Amino acid sequence: MPQIKQLDAHVADLIAAGEVVERPASVVKELVENAIDAGCSAVVVEIQRGGMGLIRVTDNGCGIAPAELPTAFLRHATSKLRSQEDLAKIGTLGFRGEALAAISAVSRVDILTRQKGSASGAKLHLEGGVPGSVEEAGAPEGTTILVRDLFYNTPARLKFMRKDSAETAAVAGLMQHLALSHPDISFKFIKDGTDALHTPGDGKLESAIYAALGREFARSLVPVKGRGGEVEVTGFVTKPLMGRGSRSMQVFFVNGRFIKSQLLTAALEEGYRNQIMKGKFPGCVLSVTLPVTAVDVNVHPAKTQVKFAREREVFDAVYHTVLDCLDRADAPAPAPKPAAEVVNPRGDFFLNMDAKTYRQQAEQPAAQPAAKPAPAAPARPAWNTEWKQPVRVADAAPEKPLYQTRPPMKSAVSALGGGPASVIARPAVKEESKSAPALKIVPPAPKPAPAPVTEISVKPEAEKRPFVPAIPPEQQKLDLPGLVRPAEAEEQEAPWRIAGEILNTYIVCESEDHCVYLIDKHAAHERVNFDRLKAAQTPPMRQTLLTPVAAELGREDCALLLENAALLESFGFACEDFGDGAVLVREVPADMDAADTAATLEEIAENLRTGRSLAEKRENLLHTMACKAAIKGGWTSDISELRVLVEKVQRGEVKYCPHGRPVAVKLTKYELEKMFKRA
């Protein structure tokens, strides 16, 4: 074994820096968080070449005293934390005292700052963490930090940097989150010389959402506001019918800090249970505020995760707030009430019921009207004991954090009210061109309603079906290469008799040897499409949209899609940048419902984000496109369509859907007889 030695300070600094500064976006995050902690009302972030060329962050905050400038760049030097006790009640975004040290260790930094009320300012240059001397300099009040040549002295890290466009997208996404978490600060983001984001900083969350996430998304929202115990929940969620194709528009803040949390996602989605279409996800900008002692933010160096002391309480607060507000949004035109009165209109029902009991009761409408507390509710479950009587938000005095920072979204809270999402009065940019799609191709004449297949066929209310030829004629005859052909004998088997279709989803068939088959028509068709797309040698047929669709997907998703424009092209999409987090789509695959364009692109962006290699991305895209072109469970199908699918299943060409779920379930005569106690 070589001798054990303590690392020298320089190497130790570089290793530590790697934890905080992973990529340009982490530098921007730390610098902007410092600006927010410094009490600024405006911050301007400028980047060049994805931040690898230059990052400049300017704020109008409190500034730094010239004498303290070199100290600010030392490791574990902070003005926000003094003792161990302070660690339990962190109220600032920064507290580790590591960011400036880490950033300066791996780049060339210039800082220019002037304290409020001070006659002159100071500047300092650092190279690889080594400071020059502090010089007096004229400067506006506040601080400007310039970071150049990031990772110039850590070639290994430099090698692993992604494309500039990916880094720009990451910074853009981050800027959105920062702007949304602080509607009272004006954020400006300039990338390679062009303005990419500018929020007014008027304290209204809806203004920040409009500016950061786009008009379409802002319009799809309803306000939510509620409280359970010490947990306050405010913000906006999407209307159930406006579900998104992915979770990318779920934005959560805990005490003003953007975080990712499975707990919050689960609580939000539980609030939409049975209200949102399968495969769709709610979007939100939700702020959870709780005493700083009830949440640990010190669990991850990048500070994007938190640990709640009482997870159940947080889950329930979010869940009930969302559920209540969605119910209210659904109610037929309720008389508007002042905000304070509409907080938790169901009173204390959650004192008596847990989510499961509530749902069970809600599912039996006659037995128990949902609006009333359950008189015969089971004994209060143990985890619910911490629930207090609902408190009006206005009555609650917020706990003072150690450091006085602006209360996250506080000013937005007052603007939320209980009514429908406020319409944001702003110029409607590019409104006309962002309208609904229109097709150039002529839709086929509506088919005559198919005759009922048999008497047992159940037809629940079918979803309206778009003009998509479910199984194009040429595809019905398609003989796919590479498919395993079943034995000759099987091919000569008599065709299965189609007994009917149930629940508009499953085809019921009977085979010659007295077996019953249930076939999931969507899954089967999805598989057929998947195999067809995979085997195709040429790009799919396209349809040109008469009016191009401007899909507002957010900056991060847009950048991802544009970065992969060639791949999208090979799937039949023609997209171009439309600015402001929108892509303009001129062409989509011919077998896709054009009205699905935005949702499909959102899903595709998710595919691209999660795919690790080009092959994996391509495969994910195949899944999405196969699904989009498939007949859906719930649609009424023509018997001829069903027949094609049944034949393919019978021939063994289709066994599993592309996600691996079975396409058909078999019941033998013996199994049926056993069920009926005949055998």
Binding site for ligand ADP (CB under 6 A): 30, 34-35, 37-38, 59, 61-64, 72, 77-80, 94-101, 143
* Nearest approach, Cβ of residue 101 and ligand ADP (Å): 6
* Nearest approach, Cβ of residue 404 and ligand ADP (Å): 14
Tell me which of 26, 34, 564, 624 binds Mg ion, using CB under 5 A: 34
* Nearest approach, Cβ of residue 63 and ligand ADP (Å): 6
Do β-strands 108-114 and 142-148 pair in parallel, antiparallel, or remain unpaired? antiparallel
Comparison of 99 and 560: residue with beta carbon closer to ligand ADP: 99
- State the Rg of the chain over Cα: 29
**How many alpha carbons lie under 13 Å from residue 618 in its C-beta half-sphere?**
11
Comparison of 100 and 196: residue with beta carbon closer to ligand ADP: 100
Question: Is residue 405 part of the contact set for Mg ion (CB under 5 A)?
Answer: no
* Contact indicator for 468, 629 with CB cutoff of 8 Å: yes
Question: Is residue 94 part of the contact set for Mg ion (CB under 5 A)?
Answer: yes
Instruction: Say how many C-beta atoms besides its own lie within 10 A of residue 227's C-beta.
Output: 22
Comparison of 99 and 251: residue with beta carbon closer to ligand ADP: 99
b/e per residue 453-463 (b: at least 16 CB within 10 A): beeebeeeeee
> Cα(434)–Cα(558) distance, rounded to whole angstroms?
15
Comparison of 94 and 282: residue with beta carbon closer to Mg ion: 94
Comparison of 63 and 500: residue with beta carbon closer to ligand ADP: 63
80 binds, among Mg ion, ligand ADP, none (CB under 5 to 8 A by kind): ligand ADP
Handedness of CA 168, 173, 174, 178 (dihedral sign): positive
Comparison of 30 and 526: residue with beta carbon closer to ligand ADP: 30
Of 98-106, 338-346, 476-484, 611-619, the segment contacting Mg ion by CB under 5 A is 98-106
**What are the CB-based long-range contacts (under 8 Å, 24+) for 439-448?**
439/467, 439/543, 439/545, 439/546, 439/594, 440/543, 440/544, 440/545, 440/546, 441/543, 441/590, 443/467, 444/469, 447/638
Comparison of 57 and 468: residue with beta carbon closer to ligand ADP: 57
> Cα(332)–Cα(322) distance, rounded to whole angstroms?
18
Comparison of 115 and 199: residue with beta carbon closer to ligand ADP: 115
* Contact indicator for 354, 260 with CB cutoff of 8 Å: no
* Contact indicator for 251, 217 with CB cutoff of 8 Å: no
* Nearest approach, Cβ of residue 533 and Mg ion (Å): 49
Sort 349 into a burial class: Cβ within 10 Å, 0-12 / 13-18 / 19+. Answer: buried
Question: Is residue 99 part of the contact set for Mg ion (CB under 5 A)?
Answer: yes
* Residue facing ligand ADP at closest CB distance: 94
Comparison of 101 and 663: residue with beta carbon closer to ligand ADP: 101
* Contact indicator for 582, 553 with CB cutoff of 8 Å: yes
* Nearest approach, Cβ of residue 212 and ligand ADP (Å): 22
Which amino acid, 524? Answer: A
Comparison of 185 and 249: residue with beta carbon closer to ligand ADP: 185
> Cα(179)–Cα(188) distance, rounded to whole angstroms?
9
499 binds, among Mg ion, ligand ADP, none (CB under 5 to 8 A by kind): none
Shortest CA distance to 558 belongs to which of 603, 516, 605?
605
* Nearest approach, Cβ of residue 61 and ligand ADP (Å): 5
* Nearest approach, Cβ of residue 158 and ligand ADP (Å): 23
Binding residues for Mg ion, rule CB under 5 A, total 3
* Nearest approach, Cβ of residue 244 and ligand ADP (Å): 34
Of 30-38, 440-448, 469-477, 534-542, the segment contacting Mg ion by CB under 5 A is 30-38
* Nearest approach, Cβ of residue 113 and Mg ion (Å): 14
Of 31-39, 59-67, 567-575, 594-602, the segment contacting Mg ion by CB under 5 A is 31-39
Comparison of 171 and 588: residue with beta carbon closer to ligand ADP: 171
Of 52-60, 97-105, 240-248, 616-624, the segment contacting Mg ion by CB under 5 A is 97-105
* Nearest approach, Cβ of residue 254 and ligand ADP (Å): 18
The first and second tokens of residue 383, run together, are 């985890």
* Contact indicator for 259, 252 with CB cutoff of 8 Å: yes
The region that residue 129 occupies, defined by phi over 0 for left and psi between -120 and 50 for alpha, beta otherwise, is: left
46 binds, among ligand ADP, Mg ion, none (CB under 5 to 8 A by kind): none
Handedness of CA 609, 614, 619, 625 (dihedral sign): positive
Of 82-90, 92-100, 235-243, 578-586, the segment contacting Mg ion by CB under 5 A is 92-100
* Binding interface with Mg ion (CB under 5 A): 34, 94, 99
